[in-house]
Structure 1
Amino acid sequence: MNEQSPQDNKIVRLKLSDQVFERLREMVASGELAPGDVVPSERVLMERFGVGRPAVREALQAMQSKGLITITHGGRSRVNALTAGVAFSQLDDIAKLLLSSEPANIDHLKVIRHILERGTARLAAQKCTAKDAAELLALIDAQRAQLGNAELFMKADIAFHTRLAQITANPLIQAITEMMLTWLFEYHSSLLLWSGREETTLSEHAEIVKYLAANDADATEQALEAHLSRADSRFKVAPS
């Protein structure tokens, strides 16, 4: 049996603002403060928790930085709806730092993309409707309209893959896909090599939609994997 050191048993006193933050977070988690609700005024919170204005303000700023509320200057702050997008956006800065500080992680992210999008393709193929297929084809046309503009072409590419993920009716898959692609393309924005293969991308997207519309999970997954494998070859990291 391992004995705990005296240090392990010490009680850490939280800052007042941290305690107020935890109380506010509990109010949101319990539903006492629901999405769209107005956040109690600073004075009300000061009286309720028995703390000063600085602690309340710092706690509210922390709530906003985590996407839990929106503070409007000159107006009342409101509780945000908790979505997968809000949750994953909290990882954005750290993820970009991780990718830029350790370039090898980009290859790990590509592996995750293959695993995720292949599974997404199979699930989407089972659920794809005529409306879904039509909207994907419209996104391909929108992407074609951006030929010659690398940044907008990449954003249109993200929109296509995100809409494909939306067909799964799984908001976590959609949010993860959008964030993952944003990280990939932003990291490579200055390194992406445009070698006249944009039309190939468009034709591959059309091929994927063809199989989606036919609800053919095997063919959709194969078309998606072939598309990703070719796309990977477009990324080249500058030598260190």
Structure 2
Amino acid sequence: MEKRDDKNLSNVVIRKVQEMILSGELQEGDKLPPEREMTQRLGIGRPALREGLKSLEMLGLVERRHGLGNFIINKVQASYFEPLSLSFMLNHGTESEIFEMRSCLETYTAAKAAEIATPSDIRSLRAIAQQMVSARTPSEKASFDRNLHFEIVRITGNMLMYNIMENVSYLIDRFFEKSVQLSYFKGDSIENIYKEHEEIISALERHDSKAAAAAMEKHLGNIKIAYL
């Protein structure tokens, strides 16, 4: 019970620091008040405070510098304040929920893109897919894979969905070890990725929305298995 209380109280820290940043009380690079001052100010104990600060580090808002204290990071991106990312942290979301959200978003956008994809769009997708094949390292392949998925969302012309996709991508980067992500782009699995990408692109080229959604769902299902 005590651990759950600390988790709930840590949300107070997250909300308060966000409020201080948005109000201008804290700027990029500023040092947070000392722990004693923050516990008194928020009316919480040190375990809850430290849990909250740890969550803020995961969100990319706070950086802990050994022997110096906690600082608001430089170049805070606007996406860090998007409701999706913050809500996920505050409500203790799970990795499976990230993939459910991604599946809902990308199967729909694949179907939508299939309705309106132009020959130029298809050429762009195939160029990205070829760049991925030609890339030498798992990191480079992962980067082109990301570009391909974002390009499909871009084709829909729905910038709100593109914004949500950025948040989902951000959550994946934050909550999955980089080694886990890159392991998917090694060995036998990489050939399957190439084939699955071609299935998606071919469905878009045929303007077959149903096939595009099915191909994307299959692809994301395999990614989920590899990650989880």
Deviation at 1:144, TM superposition (A): 1.3
Task: Name the residue aligned to 2:64.
Answer: none
Task: Name the residue aligned to 1:217.
Answer: 209
CA contact (8 A) 2:129 2:148 kept: yes
Gaps of 5+ in 1: 1-17, 23-57, 63-85
Q: What is the number of residues matched between the two proteins? A: 156
Deviation at 1:204, TM superposition (A): 0.7
Per the alignment, in what secondary structure is the counterpart of residue 201 of structure 2? helix
Task: Name the residue aligned to 1:109.
Answer: 98
Structural mapping, 1:26-65, within 5 Å: 58=24, 61=27
The CA distance in 2 between the partners of 1:88 and 1:217, in whole Å, is 30
What letter is aligned with 1:201? I
The CA distance in 2 between the partners of 1:221 and 1:93, in whole Å, is 24
Note closer, same or farther for the CA distance 1:160–1:186 as it changes in structure 2 (3 Å cut): farther
CA contact (8 A) 2:128 2:147 kept: yes
Structural mapping, 1:68-87, within 5 Å: none
Cα displacement string for residues 12-39 of structure 1 (whole angstroms, at most 9, x for unaligned residues): xxxxxx9xx88xxxxxxxxxxxxxxxxx
CA contact (8 A) 1:158 1:182 kept: no
CA contact (8 A) 1:158 1:178 kept: no
Give RMSD over aligned pairs: 3.2
Task: Name the residue aligned to 1:130.
Answer: 119
What letter is aligned with 1:132? D
Task: Name the residue aligned to 1:179.
Answer: 167
What letter is aligned with 1:162? F
What letter is aligned with 2:147? A
The CA distance in 2 between the partners of 1:95 and 1:217, in whole Å, is 33
- What percentage of aligned pairs have identical amino acids? 24
TM-score, normalised by the number of residues in structure 2: 0.59
Task: Name the residue aligned to 1:121.
Answer: 110
Residue 145 of structure 2 corresponds to residue 157 of structure 1: yes
Note closer, same or farther for the CA distance 1:140–1:105 as it changes in structure 2 (3 Å cut): same
Deviation at 1:153, TM superposition (A): 1.8
Deviation at 1:179, TM superposition (A): 2.8
The CA distance in 2 between the partners of 1:92 and 1:145, in whole Å, is 37
Larger Rg: 1
Note closer, same or farther for the CA distance 1:219–1:93 as it changes in structure 2 (3 Å cut): closer
Note closer, same or farther for the CA distance 1:89–1:137 as it changes in structure 2 (3 Å cut): farther
What letter is aligned with 2:151? R
Deviation at 1:87, TM superposition (A): 5.1
Gaps of 5+ in 2: 1-18, 29-76
Larger CA deviation: 161-170 vs 151-160: 151-160
Task: Name the residue aligned to 1:228.
Answer: 220
